[in-house]
Amino acid sequence: MSVLRVLTLPFVIWAHQANELQPNLLLFALVAFIVLTDYLDGFFARTLDQVSEMGKWLDPLADKLCAVVLFTYVWWIGMIPMYLFGLVIFRDAMILIGSLLIKKKRGKVAMSVMTGKITVFILSLYWISLVFFPSYDTIINVFKHASTFMLIFSGGVYIVRGFRILNGADFK
Q: What is the DSSP letter of 112?
A: P
pTM equals 0.87
Range of the domain at 22: 2-166
Q: For residues 162 and 105, is the Cβ–Cβ distance under 8 A?
A: no
Inside any domain, residue 80: yes
Inside any domain, residue 64: yes
How many domains in the chain? 1
CA distance 43 to 35: 12
For a pLDDT cut of 90, what percent of the chain falls above it?
73
CA distance 15 to 8: 11
CA distance 104 to 98: 10
What are the strands, taking DSSP E only, across the chain? none
Looking at residue 73, its amino acid is Y
Digit-coded pLDDT (tens) for 84-142: 999 999 999 999 999 899 999 998 888 788 999 899 999 999 999 999 999 999 999 99
Inside any domain, residue 171: no
CATH number at residue 139: 1.20.120.1760
Inside any domain, residue 58: yes
Inside any domain, residue 172: no
Inside any domain, residue 115: yes
